[in-house]
Amino acid sequence: MSVITAQGLHKRYGAKVAVDDLSFEVRPGMVTGFLGPNGAGKSTTMRLMLDLDNGSGQTLFDGRRFGTIRHPMREIGAVLEAKAFHPTRTARNHLRMLAAGSGIPATRADEVLEFVGLADVKRKKPKSFSLGMAQRLGLAQALLGDPGTLILDEPANGLDPHGIHWLRDVLKSLAGQGRTIFVSSHLLSEMSLMADQLVVIGRGRMIYNGDVDGFVREFTQATVLVRTPHTTQLTTALGSLDGVTVEALPAAAAVAAATADPVDPAAVAALPAGSQPSGALRVAGTDAATVGEVAFHAGVLLHELTTQTASLETAFITATGASEEYVAHDLGPAPPPPQPPPAAGAETTGGAA
């Protein structure tokens, strides 16, 4: 359980700056997600943090560099590459060898293999493992020394939906025990369910460091969904507010037509409570409380008033769009297959044989 402090991490490959002066803190007791488009520098950053790559800056684990920690496996569990295992040993022996090197009892190998669901294949060689099985073995290896800190690069890669669900529960529960979890992933829906804090980078630079809700707030605009039988009156009333836009959703347009817009409030009010036809509006540029107040002062009945926040994926695309390194382009039609050369003496213009 340690605070990770990354300070001024920097790495270039020739002219290419892969990690550009990154500083951030990863705190215990929560999952910190590490996000960025392809090639943003996530893996390089993780390697720098663990002194596995040459670069500048430093990373401290409760004030100590990785290289100075006597038994790193007992403090920091890391999986940076899913398939980095000994080529000839069985999964169990691979873990027992690592355990022996760090003064960890051999029985722990069986415990962690059981924990990650690989007990049945522990006598098999990891080279025969699928990517998902290799990921599970990687996590078993990381947990061998019961470390307080986990650094995991794309641990969900290759896992099936059950495996992803399981991994999320495991990481959340390890964080709940007070451990420090730093995990990269491209699965944004998973990240939104799992992470408390985010470090988001693009082209090696910091884009955002803070809590997940703050990221979504900063890079997207919340809207207010309103359902009312009086869409026209409400649209007019909201139109007087600066910076507010109102969009009629398809259902609202249908109601407006059906009730011969503008709505006759007296006719609608005469309907039994709850049976008035309701149209939907999406309001941007203000909050639900303001929409509710405006509706109240305009005498507009509301059936629903909901704040709608955007997804982590929408925020990620907005935040990192400009720093996307590998941008796809439209694929034109395939060229026609080459025509075989005409046989010698054959007709080339067509015609009756």
Ligand X SMILES: Nc1ncnc2c1ncn2[C@@H]1O[C@H](COP(=O)(O)OP(=O)(O)OP(=O)(O)O)[C@@H](O)[C@H]1O
Residues that bind ligand X in the complex, under the rule CB under 6 A: 13, 16, 18, 36, 38-44
- Toward ligand X, which CB reaches closer, 47 or 122? 47
**In this structure, how many other beta carbons lie within 10 angstroms of the beta carbon of residue 50?**
17
- Angle at CA of residue 13, ends 12 and 14, nearest 5°: 105
Cβ(164)–Cβ(192) below 8 Å: no
At closest approach, how far in Å is the CB of 78 from ligand X? Answer: 14
- Toward ligand X, which CB reaches closer, 191 or 224? 191
DSSP string, 123-139: TS-GGG--HHHHHHHHH
- Toward ligand X, which CB reaches closer, 206 or 244? 206
CA atoms within 13 A on the CB side of 1: 9
The CA distance from 249 to 30, in Å, is 39
At closest approach, how far in Å is the CB of 17 from ligand X? Answer: 8
Name residues whose C-beta falls within 8 Å of residue 267's C-beta, 6 or more positions apart in sequence: 259
Phi and psi of 146, rounded to 5°?
50, 50
At closest approach, how far in Å is the CB of 40 from ligand X? Answer: 4
- Toward ligand X, which CB reaches closer, 49 or 255? 49
At closest approach, how far in Å is the CB of 54 from ligand X? Answer: 11
CA atoms within 13 A on the CB side of 16: 8
Q: Which strands make up the sheet holding 223-228, listed edge to edge?
A: 245-248, 279-284, 223-228, 304-308
- Toward ligand X, which CB reaches closer, 43 or 233? 43
In the structure encoding, which two tokens stand for residue 168, read together? 């999320």
At closest approach, how far in Å is the CB of 18 from ligand X? Answer: 3
At closest approach, how far in Å is the CB of 129 from ligand X? Answer: 21
**In this structure, how many other beta carbons lie within 10 angstroms of the beta carbon of residue 42?**
24
- Toward ligand X, which CB reaches closer, 42 or 94? 42
Q: Which strands make up the sheet holding 16-26, listed edge to edge?
A: 16-26, 4-13, 56-61
- Toward ligand X, which CB reaches closer, 95 or 194? 194
At closest approach, how far in Å is the CB of 201 from ligand X? Answer: 7
